[in-house]
Chains A and B, each alone.
Chain A
Amino acid sequence: MIEKEKLENLFAEIRESLDYHEPDSGHKERFFEKLNAKNTSISDVRGRRIRWIKSLSIAASLALIIALGAYIGNAEPTMEEQVARISPEASNTQFYFANLIEEQVKKLKEEVSPETLKIIDDTLLQLKNLEKDYKELERNLIQGGNSKLILSAMITNFQTRINLLNAVLNQIETIKILKNNSNENTI
């Protein structure tokens, strides 16, 4: 019995000194890599799941496609996150352009009239196609394509959309002036 107590006492005495082993050097780096891999794969899985649901709902509703086409700022947030990881600059640029385009599209929609309906519809369709291209580029970027080329193509895509919107808005201005003028002429 006395012996038994001794053993407990012995361990109480040495408890503080028991952790004398050290992991092999470089263990922090190895852990950091594992941690990184884990955190990345979590957001990947989440992203894939959301994209899948998204694509299903897009297929379900054509109206939603048009809404999404007009509303690129809102589309695919997880894709944006992934792009942001590859190139933060690109995602900042995207944010800036998306806002700009959204504003222009709003302006465009305010101009709807019997005379401009056709050109506006056509513009929205073209924007949608451009956006489809853009999504394709984003996908390529995430899958690890030549990022320099893809990023420059993404910027060109945005610029094309802005140019298109500006051109159409100018044309609408011209149509309005023409209409007013011809109205004046007929009076």
Chain B
Amino acid sequence: MSLKNENTDALLELCLKNDQCAQMEIYNRYFKAMYNTAFRILKKNDEAEDVMQESFLSAFTKLHTFKGEVAFGAWLKRIVINNSIKSYRAQQKKNEVALESIIHKVKDYDEVTSDHAFSELKAQKVMETMEQLRDNYRISLTLHLIEGFDYEEISSIMNISYANCRTTISRAKESLRRKLQISQ
């Protein structure tokens, strides 16, 4: 674990000098988590990829401001989340209706019913249920339950009041609970 940290630190040193190989290596290590974070907010492959990659680029640009108070992954994730929210708002403005939200996704789970895949299956089921929630419920719950932010942080990220944030999350939880019970 500490070795892995050291390696990342060494890589970041190189990234500060604009070393392209080190930057690609950082990308390889973090892209999956960052892509999924963006995807959970944006629900679209291409936009999630775009936001994720742009976030890496801006992270490299302002890497000198990263002082290591938090883990690099957490710092990067915050950039991804902020950019995802920004992109989500732009998407709302354009009033685009995602194809996925119209056509109900039909997935065949039969091939992944082995035991070790059980928690993965469960995760997918929960995430699919999350996707059925209203956008602001989905996003606030994602930030709260998955990314682990507290109310204060979420209200600043989503630009809503603290009280509003609390209510939204509690209603979102209620809604998710109901939907999970139905689907079970």
Contact across chains for A19 and B126 when beta carbons are under 8 A apart: no
Does B35 lie within 8 Å of A35, measured CB to CB?
no
CA A23 to CA B31, docked complex, whole Å: 9
Interface residue stretch chosen among A5-13, A50-58, A87-95, A179-187:
A5-13
**A143 on the B face (CB < 8 A):** no
Least CB distance from B110 to A in Å reads 17
Q: Which residues of B contact A10 (CB under 8 A)?
A: 126, 180
Q: How far, in Å, is B130 (CB) from chain A's closest CB?
A: 10
Interface residues of B in 30-89 (CB under 8 A from A): 31-33, 35-36, 39-40, 45-46, 48-49, 52-54, 56-57, 60-61
> For chain B, which range describes its interface: under 10, 10 to 19, 20 to 34, or 35 or more residues?
35 or more
CB interface residues, A 10-49, toward B, < 8 Å: 10-11, 13-24, 27-28, 30-32, 34-36, 38-39, 42
When C-beta atoms are compared, the residue in chain A nearest to B35 turns out to be: A23
On whether the beta carbons of A21 and B123 are closer than 8 Å, the reply is no
State whether B24 touches A35 (Cβ < 8 A): yes
In the complex, chain A residues whose CB is within 8 Å of the CB of B119: 13-14, 16-17
Measured in the bound complex, the distance between the Cα atoms of B56 and A38 in whole Å is 11
With contacts A27-B31, A27-B49 taken as known, whether A7 is within 8 angstroms of B176 at the C-beta atoms is yes
Inside 8 A of B176's CB, which chain A residues have their CB?
7
Query: Mostly helix, strand, loop or mixed at chain A's interface?
Result: helix
Prevailing SS type, chain B contact patch: helix
B53 near A34: Cβ-Cβ < 8 Å = yes
Q: Which of A3, A4, A28 contacts B27 (CB 8 A)?
A: A28
Contacts of A15 in B (CB 8 A): 146
Asked if B101 is an interface residue, CB under 8 A from chain A, the answer is no
Least CB distance, A64 to chain B, in whole angstroms: 31
Q: Which residues of chain B have C-beta atoms less than 8 A from A18's C-beta?
A: 36, 40, 123, 127, 146
Note all chain A residues with C-beta closer than 8 A to B98.
none
State the CA gap A15–B123 with chains docked (Å). Answer: 8
Nearest-CB residue, chain B, relative to A19: B36
Q: How far is the CB of A5 from chain B (nearest CB, A)?
A: 11
Q: Which of A7, A14, A42 has the most CB of B within 10 A?
A: A14
Beyond A18-B123, A19-B36, A32-B24, whether A24 also contacts B146 by CB under 8 A is no
Task: Give bound CA distance, A180 to B50, whole Å.
Answer: 78
Q: How far is the CA of A10 from the CA of B177 in the complex (A)?
A: 11
Whether the pair B123, A39 counts as a contact (CB closer than 8 A) is no
Give chain B residues whose Cβ lies under 8 Å from the Cβ of A14: 119, 122-123, 126
The 9 closest A-B CB pairs, nearest first, are A17-B123, A14-B123, A19-B36, A11-B145, A17-B120, A23-B49, A23-B35, A31-B53, A21-B39
A–B Cβ pairs within 8 angstroms, 8 of them: A10-B126, A17-B124, A19-B32, A24-B46, A27-B49, A34-B53, A38-B60, A39-B18
Inter-chain pairs besides A17-B122, A22-B32, A23-B45, 5 sampled, C-beta below 8 Å? A11-B126, A14-B126, A17-B119, A19-B32, A21-B39
Task: Name A residues whose Cβ lies closer than 8 Å to a Cβ of B.
Answer: 3-4, 6-8, 10-11, 13-24, 27-28, 30-32, 34-36, 38-39, 42
